Amino acid sequence: MPHRFKFRIAVAAIAALAAGAASAQSLRLVTEESYPFQYLENRQLKGMSVEVVSEMTKRAGIKADFELLSWKDAYERAQRDRDTCVFSTARLDNRKNLFKWVGPIVENRWAVFGKQGMKQKPAALGDLRYLRVGVLEGDAKATYLMDNGIASALNKVGDDALNPSKLTADKNEPGKIDVWVTGYYSAQRTAAKTNTKDVEYIFTLESSPNYLACNFGVKADVLQKLTEALAAMQKDGSYQKIVDHYDPLKQK
């Protein structure tokens, strides 16, 4: 039995009473731990996606039960159980017909970082062929780079936290890397694990929109309310405010 944490957020009780509804609509929202989109801090579920989805359910008048599981369990639960959605989920070709989709709720970005003071910075994917590229072994980013002809330049490590301290601005320094490919939002937190502070963002390599992926048993009117709530958040600026809170460049 996997270790799991459950969080209940009753966000629709007042709205339901005011409308004279007999019972509020409810959803079970399952997710995995993946900073900064959803993660545990002091046994509380936090993160960019959590804030966005919580506000969506609040505005839609829907009670939400949040549950943190392994990705495998969360993904399978959303396919199996009525009134269940999994987030944050990339809408891949092999998943399109497995769920009903709401979103995108967040944008996952892969980015290139270097050491401050780097003179000749890469500007595009092809430029990485001439540099030593640090990346996490077995990660999707490593696969993406190899698929795009960057295989010979890769320096793969078993722990991404080892990469920031290996960055150098001197292309001739042995045993180092020129750039580091990692998550845009998580790089700062990863670098802090080794107290590395002179890491500089260079450019975004790839962006992947992530969604709320819902079981086919979720009613169409619930999905519509969530979609409208998200649109309202984007229109009034509250959505961007949440995203900016987690943006490392906007926190400086």
The two structure tokens encoding residue 119: 């003179």
> Is 251 among the domain residues?
no
Q: Looking at residue 252, what is its pLDDT?
A: 57
User: Domain of 180?
Assistant: 109-206
> Is 252 among the domain residues?
no
- Whole-model pTM? 0.79
User: Do residues 156 and 136 touch, judged by C-beta distance below 8 A?
Assistant: yes
- Stretches in the chain below the pLDDT threshold 50: 1-4, 7-23
Q: What is the pLDDT of residues 158-172, one digit of tens each?
A: 999 999 999 999 988
User: Do residues 69 and 77 touch, judged by C-beta distance below 8 A?
Assistant: yes
For residues 194 and 143, state if they share a domain: yes
What does the radius of gyration of the chain's CA atoms come to, in whole angstroms?
Answer: 20
Q: Looking at residue 6, what is its pLDDT?
A: 53
> Is 223 among the domain residues?
yes
Q: Looking at residue 246, what is its pLDDT?
A: 93
For residues 164 and 236, state if they share a domain: no
Residue burial 164-189, b: 16+ Cβ < 10 Å; e: rest: bbbbbbeeeeeebbbbbbbbbbbbbe
The two structure tokens encoding residue 193: 């694990």
> Is 96 among the domain residues?
yes
For residues 90 and 118, state if they share a domain: no
The two structure tokens encoding residue 232: 């309202």
| C-alpha angle 88-209-6 in degrees, rounded to nearest 5 | 10
Helix (H, G, I), strand (E, B) or coil at 148: coil
> Is 48 among the domain residues?
yes
> Is 250 among the domain residues?
no
Give the strand order in the sheet containing 133-136. 5-9, 62-68, 25-31, 84-90, 199-214, 100-115, 179-183, 133-136, 154-157
At position 93, the amino acid (one-letter code) is D
Q: Looking at residue 250, what is its pLDDT?
A: 81
Peptide bond into 104 cis (omega under 30): yes
Q: What's the CATH number where 166 sits?
A: 3.40.190.10
For residues 104 and 213, state if they share a domain: yes
